[in-house]
Amino acid sequence: MEVNHYKQREVLDVEFHIPNGGILRHPVIVISRNDVNKQDKSFIGVMMSGSTEFDDQFRFPLEDDMFDVPTTKICAVRCHLIATIEHRKVKKSIGKMKKKPFLKLLEQINKVVFSFEEP
């Protein structure tokens, strides 16, 4: 499902190659800016999960009202699972995250992943 480029805040169903040689499909939220997404037919995405087993600093809980279309079985973003994803790995667009919760998500990612830490 390759298009010219995907837009920031889009929720996409993406194929990931896993170490055992298989393919796993997972939803991601596009976190990179639109100009970045146009540049090299890729974007930066953060993985969403339906698992409730993780309750740590990397979990950003999700609610249906954070999206233009309710997400099914997706309850959190795993803030540290960030990847550059080629457009050709996208299988379909699922929806879009609303602006206010997206800004909170970016704050959480910056806090738990990219903040400066003294050695």
- pLDDT recorded at residue 47: 94
Residue 17 lies in a domain: yes
Residue 42 lies in a domain: yes
What is the C-alpha to C-alpha distance for residues 78 and 94, in angstroms, rounded to an integer? 18
Residue 76 lies in a domain: yes
CATH of the domain at 72: 2.30.30.110
pLDDT tens string, the chain, 119 residues long: the values are 556 689 999 999 999 888 888 888 999 999 999 999 988 889 999 999 887 776 788 999 999 999 998 877 778 999 999 999 999 999 999 999 999 999 999 999 999 999 887 77
- pLDDT recorded at residue 89: 94
Q: What's the pTM value of the predicted model, to 2 decimals?
A: 0.89
- pLDDT recorded at residue 4: 67
- pLDDT recorded at residue 62: 92
Q: Which of 14, 36, 35, 24 is nearest to 93 (CA)?
A: 14
Residue 109 lies in a domain: no
Q: 22: domain range?
A: 10-99
- pLDDT recorded at residue 1: 52
Q: Are 112 and 80 in contact (CB under 8 A)?
A: yes
Residue 80, classified by CB atoms within 10 Å of its CB into exposed (0-12), middle (13-18) or buried (19+), is middle
Q: How many domains does the chain have?
A: 1
